[in-house]
Structure 1
Amino acid sequence: MLIVRHLWDGITNDKRGKGVMRVNWLLLIMRMVVVSSLLLISTEAVWAEGKKDNVVIAAVIYGKHNVTTLDGFKEGMKEKGYIEGKNTIYLFHGTFQNLENLDADIAKVVSENPDLIFASTTPVALAVKKATSNHKIPVVFGPVNDPMSAGVVAEQRHPGDNITGVMLTDSIAKQLEWAIRIAPRIKKILLPYNPNDKSSVISVEKAREAAELFKLTLDARQVSNHKEIDILLAEFPDDVGAIFLPRDGMVMSRVEDFAKVANQKKIILSGTRLEMAERGALFGFGFNGFMVGKQMARMADQILRGRKPGDLPVETAEDYLSINLKTANTLGITISEHILRQAHTIIRAE
Structure 2
Amino acid sequence: MAVELARCRPGYRRHGATGLRPEPHAVRGPRLAGDLLRQRPRALTDRRERLRLRDDAVPRGSDRGVGDAGPRVRRALAWALAIAGLGAAVVAAPSVPAAQPDAHVPWIGYLANEPTPDSTPVLRNTLRTHGWDEGRSVKIYYRYAQGKVDLYPQHAEELTRLNVAVIVAIGAPAIEAARAATRTIPIVMVSLDDPVVTQLVAASPRPDANLTGLTTFVAGLSRRRLELLKQAVPRLARATALWNPASTSVANDLRETQAAARTLGVELTAVELRVDRDVRDALAAVLAQQPQGLVVLGDSLALANRERIVTFTSRNRLPAVYPLRDFADAGGFLSYGPSWTDVYRLAAGFVDKILRGARPADLPLARPTRFELVINLRAAQKLDLRVPSSLLERADRLIE
User: Structure 1 length as normaliser, TM-score?
Assistant: 0.75
Q: What residue in structure 2 maps to residue 163 of structure 1?
A: 211
Paired residue type of 1:261 = F
Kept after mapping to 2: 8 A contact 1:274/1:322: yes
2:356 is the alignment partner of 1:330? no
Report the Cα offset of residue 101 of structure 1: 5.8
Q: Cα deviation per residue 1:17-63 (whole Å; 9 max; x = unaligned)?
A: xxxxxxxxxxxxxxxxxxxxxxxxxxxxxxxxxxx8411111121x4
- Counterpart of 1:57 in structure 2 is 108
The within-5 A match list for 1:1-350 is 53-61=104-112, 63-64=113-114, 68-95=118-145, 97-100=147-150, 102-103=152-153, 105-133=155-183, 136-168=184-216, 169-170=218-219, 171-233=221-283, 236-237=287-288, 239-317=290-368, 318-348=370-400
Q: CA RMSD of the aligned region, Å?
A: 2.5
Contact 1:129-1:152 within 8 A present in 2 as well: no
Computing the radius of gyration over CA atoms, which structure comes out larger, 1 or 2? 2
Which residue of the partner structure matches residue 13 of structure 1?
none
1:275 maps to amino acid: D
Distance between the aligned counterparts of 1:122 and 1:65, measured in 2?
16
**Contact 2:240 / 2:270 at 8 angstroms: preserved in 1?**
yes
CA–CA separation in structure 2 for the residues paired with 1:146 and 1:120: 13
Q: What does the per-residue CA deviation read over 1:189-222, in whole Å, with 9 as the maximum and x for residues that have no partner?
A: 2333344445544433443343344343333222
User: Any conservation in 1 of the 2:194–2:249 contact (CA below 8 Å)?
Assistant: yes
1:110 shift after superposition:
2.3
Unaligned runs of 5+ in 2: 1-102
Deviates more, 1:205-214 or 1:268-277: 205-214
Counterpart secondary structure, 1:155: coil
Report the AA paired with residue 342 of structure 1: R
Is the alpha carbon distance of 1:241 and 1:212 closer, same or farther for their aligned partners in structure 2, counting shifts above 3 Å? Answer: same
Q: Does the 8 Å contact 1:258/1:269 carry over to 2?
A: no
Q: Distance in 2 between the 1:165 and 1:66 partners?
A: 19
Q: 1:132 to 1:222 in 2, by over 3 A?
A: same
Partner SS state of residue 146, structure 1: coil
Q: 1:114 to 1:206 in 2, by over 3 A?
A: farther
What is the letter of the counterpart of residue 183 of structure 1?
V
Give the superposition deviation at 1:294: 1.7
Q: Is residue 198–residue 247 contact of structure 2 (8 Å, CA) maintained in 1?
A: no
- Number of residues paired by the alignment? 294
- 1:83 partner amino acid: D
Which whole-Å deviations, capped at 9, do the CAs of 1:236-257 have from their partners, x for residues lacking one?
3251112222222232233333
Q: Deviations over 1:128-170 (max 9, x none)?
A: 234333xx21111114321211112233332242221122222
Report the 3-state secondary structure (helix = DSSP H, G, I; strand = E; otherwise coil) of the residue aligned with 2:294. Answer: strand
Distance 1:87 1:158, change over 3 A: same
Alpha-carbon contact 1:71-1:290 (below 8 Å) kept: no
Which AA in structure 2 matches 1:208? Q
**Match for 2:186: what amino acid?**
P
**TM-score, normalisation: structure 2:** 0.66
Distance 1:260-1:78 versus aligned 2 partners, 3 A rule? same
The SS at the match of 1:73 is: helix
Structure 1 residues 127 and 115, CA gap change in structure 2 (3 angstroms): same
SS at match of 2:143: coil
RCO higher in structure (CA 8 A, sep ≥6): 1
For 2:58, the equivalent position in structure 1 comes to none
My pick for the range that moved more, 246-255 or 312-321, is: 246-255
Identical amino acids, percent of aligned pairs: 20
- Unmatched tracts of structure 1, length 5 or more: 1-51
Asked if 2 retains the 8 angstrom alpha-carbon contact of 1:96 and 1:102, the reply is: no
Contact 1:266/1:331 (CA < 8 Å) preserved in 2? yes
In 2, Cα distance between equivalents of 1:207 and 1:338:
23
1:105 & 1:207 partners in 2: Cα distance?
36
**What CA distance in whole angstroms lies between the structure 2 residues aligned with 1:205 and 1:112?**
43
